[in-house]
Amino acid sequence: MSREVPALPNAPLPRRLGPWHAIGLVVGITIGSGIFRTPAVIADRVPDPRAMLAVWLIGGLISLCGALSVAELAASFPRTGGWYVFLREGWGRLPAFLFGWSELVLIRASATGAIAMVFSSYLLRSLGSEGDPGQPATRLLAAGTIVLTAAANIRGVRLGAALTSASSLAKFGALALLVVVAFAIGDQHGATVEHFARTDSALDAGRFGLALVSVLWAYDGFADVSFAAGEVRDPQRALPRAIVGGLLAILVIYIAANTAYLYVLPIGDVARSPLIAADTMRALAGSAGGTLVSLVVAVSTFGSLSGIMLAAPRIFFAMAAEGLFFRSVGAAHPRYQTPHRAIALSAALGVAFVLTRTFEQLADTFVLAIWPFYGIAVAGLFRLRRSADDERRLYRTPGYPLVPAIFIAGVTYLVGNAVAVDPVWTLATFGIVLAGVPVYYVLFARQRA
């Protein structure tokens, strides 16, 4: 009988992912459900087309500052665990554990559930159903898809990466096609620049901040490839190129896609369209166009879900290897050399969340729980820059210290606005995060790698 391979700190998984796998993971994970689902939420929160485009641009620039900063961290610490490793190196074991704890009880399950919900909604729409996210069939299909992508990633890291990379081409191509068709023939189907005219709706600063939460959900994932950094070849060069280059391409296509949505449909219709890509193409090419786009979006979100299942469980794997989680979770599969128990745990939590919560609840919870950790990790860059080996870094953040400071300021605004606008839910989310403090001191503070 074969034995499971025990977890070893930072060196249990072979480096099988090349630079194109890394770029594919950035694009594949980031372009998930956000651009295909959140425009309706954003249009409802900011019912002015110019303000809607502005919030997408601001969110993109904040994310770009984060990508430029975290690329230095990824190149400096190319180990399995990503943000968890950056927090541990910058601030110590407790902040790193709280990030992993939050990933376990809030963050990753919310992300997995939200993406799976969008996949099932678009797939059902392509099959002729309405794809209502509230229907039991939509939730059950989403749960089954989580299980399927988990099984694929247990089977092998290259299989999971290949699924994500292949879907990256599909989703980027679908968005590019939608933009081209919208501006090529849109004027023949009711599209007009008058849709960009300022509306009479007053712009509310609090709701603008909530719209930014939704936008950051769409941009999130630009550094998730770092969770699998321990399996990327030549990581000190491949990771910065993938993170920064991938996000730049995503920012451009997001602005173009939202411009196309608003050109074809008035903002009121956008706000009422949870399946905006399908509805936009239906307005341009009839039901056949809507069906085709729905199918492509389903394929793309499936790939994003596969990428999440590849990247996120590496957090629990790295924590177990360093004594900050149950060591049994850190076992590698004896045949496939993948963190199979960590993947199975992530899948189980995702299924539980998708069966009990709405898309909006899942997306907002994810952003409020994880982005403060992003800000803290990037703030650690200021401390790490003073280390003795600073001169040997192959990549250094351009525009330092202004670029990371802009990112930290954006995260601070996000948190402050959320507390002001929705204090109960925001503080409850932070309370769950801080509940990890006693768990750390009782169970893991004395353990070591």
pLDDT over threshold 70, residue 134: no
Contact 255, 53 (CB under 8 A): yes
pLDDT over threshold 50, residue 11: no
What range does the domain containing 48 cover?
A: 19-387+396-444
Residue 398, pLDDT score: 93
pLDDT over threshold 90, residue 411: yes
SS3 29: helix
pLDDT over threshold 50, residue 5: no
Q: How confident is the model at residue 109 (pLDDT cuts 50, 70, 90)?
A: confident
Q: How confident is the model at residue 161 (pLDDT cuts 50, 70, 90)?
A: low
pLDDT over threshold 80, residue 432: yes
Cis peptide before 401 (omega within 30 of 0): yes
Which CATH number characterizes residue 113's domain?
1.20.1740.10
Rounded distance, CA 246 to CA 270, Å? 27
Q: Of residues 1 and 287, which shows the higher confidence score?
A: 287
> How many structural domains compose the chain?
1
Q: What is the mean pLDDT of the chain?
A: 83
Q: Of residues 51 and 231, which shows the higher confidence score?
A: 51
Q: How confident is the model at residue 392 (pLDDT cuts 50, 70, 90)?
A: low
Q: What is the pTM of this model?
A: 0.82
Kindly report which listed range (17-26, 239-248, 411-420) carries the lowest average pLDDT score. Answer: 17-26
Contact 17, 169 (CB under 8 A): no
177 domain-assigned: yes
Q: How confident is the model at residue 200 (pLDDT cuts 50, 70, 90)?
A: confident
11 domain-assigned: no
Q: Which of 101-110, 209-218, 294-303, 373-382 has the highest mean pLDDT?
A: 373-382
Tokens 């099932």 belong to residue:
120
SS3 of 372-405: HHHHHHHHHHHHHCCCCCHHHCCCCCCCCCHHHH
pLDDT over threshold 70, residue 201: yes
pLDDT tens, position by position, 67-88: 999 999 998 888 878 899 999 9
Classify each residue of 150-166 as buried b or exposed e, where b means 16 or more C-beta atoms within 10 Å of its C-beta. Answer: bebbbebbebbbbbbbe
Contact 33, 110 (CB under 8 A): no
Q: How confident is the model at residue 166 (pLDDT cuts 50, 70, 90)?
A: low
Percent of the chain predicted with pLDDT > 70: 90
Residue 13, pLDDT score: 62
pLDDT tens, position by position, 297-323: 887 788 778 777 776 677 777 788 788
Question: Average pLDDT, stretch 102-122?
Answer: 83
Compute CA 138 distance to the chain's CA centroid, rounded to the nearest angstrom.
Answer: 21
Q: Of residues 23 and 376, which shows the higher confidence score?
A: 376
Contacts of 421 (CB under 8 A, 6+ apart): 206, 207, 209, 210
8 domain-assigned: no
Running DSSP on this structure, what letter comes out for residue 227? G
pLDDT tens, position by position, 339-385: 778 778 878 888 888 887 777 777 778 888 899 999 999 999 998 88
3 domain-assigned: no
pLDDT tens, position by position, 254-292: 999 999 999 999 999 999 988 888 889 889 888 888 888
**Structure-block tokens of residue 286:** 């009839």
37 domain-assigned: yes
